[in-house]
Structure 1
Amino acid sequence: MEITPKQRAHLKSLAHHLKAVMFVGKEGVNEQTIRSLEEAFNTRELLKVKVLEAAPVELRDGARELAERIPGAVVVQTIGRIAVLYRPDPEKPEIQLPPA
């Protein structure tokens, strides 16, 4: 899935107030992390993930790997140690993106 700069800006504004719901620690991106993130995507479409300093992956690499391993997910933003990921609900999307 690709998003336009306008859609990305909209998602960034929605994510601003969110707290990180997922943390990538010294184990890095593993199957448990993927399962937990998929479960979180079942209840919301926009998530913040924090990559801790002890993690063996860099923020951008970890965010890209998470988005690649979760079907339909896309990296919206990486800033500091936080990545914002978006995956629209396949049946009833709650977030209405601006037209492309």
Structure 2
Amino acid sequence: MLDTKERQILRARAHALKPVVMIGAHGVTDGVVAELEVALNAHELIKVRLPSVPHDQRDAMTQTLAETGHADIIGRVGRILILYRPRPESARKR
């Protein structure tokens, strides 16, 4: 679990990032979950673009993505979600 200061630092780092995972009209599919895994393993800190659906559906998608990706929600502004999951020690560059 991240504290407020860590979230603030990560949010600042994410500011310049572009969304690397886009959720389509079909919502969170197996393909989206696979792409989320690849993106989190490669980058740790990512932005996800959510579809233009009602607010409560976006909230549900946000929770689903965080749970399936085992990631922390750093923030969400409108349709943009910021997720963070540290790389495992075995995957870090040496």
Distance 1:33 1:52 in 2: 12
Alignment correspondent of 2:2: 3
TM-score (norm: length of structure 2): 0.86
Which letter maps to 2:34? R
For residue 63 of structure 1, report the CA deviation from its aligned partner: 1.6
Q: Structure 1: give runs of 5+ residues left out of the alignment.
A: 94-100
The number of equivalent residue pairs is 91
Aligned to 1:81: 79
Contact 1:59 1:83 survives alignment (8 Å): no
CA distance in 2, matches of 1:59, 1:53: 8
User: How far off its partner does 1:54 sit?
Assistant: 5.3
Q: 2:87 is matched by which residue type in structure 1?
A: D
TM-score (norm: length of structure 1): 0.82
Structure 2 alignment gaps of length 5 or more: none
Q: Is the 8 A contact 1:34 1:69 kept in 2?
A: yes
Answer yes or no: is 1:40 the counterpart of 2:62. Answer: no
Q: Which residue of 2 aligns with 1:98?
A: none
Alignment of structure 1 residues 81-100 onto 2, 5 Å = 81-91=79-89, 92=92
Whether the 8 Å contact between 2:66 and 2:72 is mirrored in structure 1 is yes
| Identical amino acids, percent of aligned pairs | 36
* Aligned ranges 1:3-82 → 2 under 5 Å: 3-53=2-52, 58-71=57-70, 73-82=71-80
The separation in 2 between residues aligned to 1:46 and 1:17, in whole angstroms, is 11
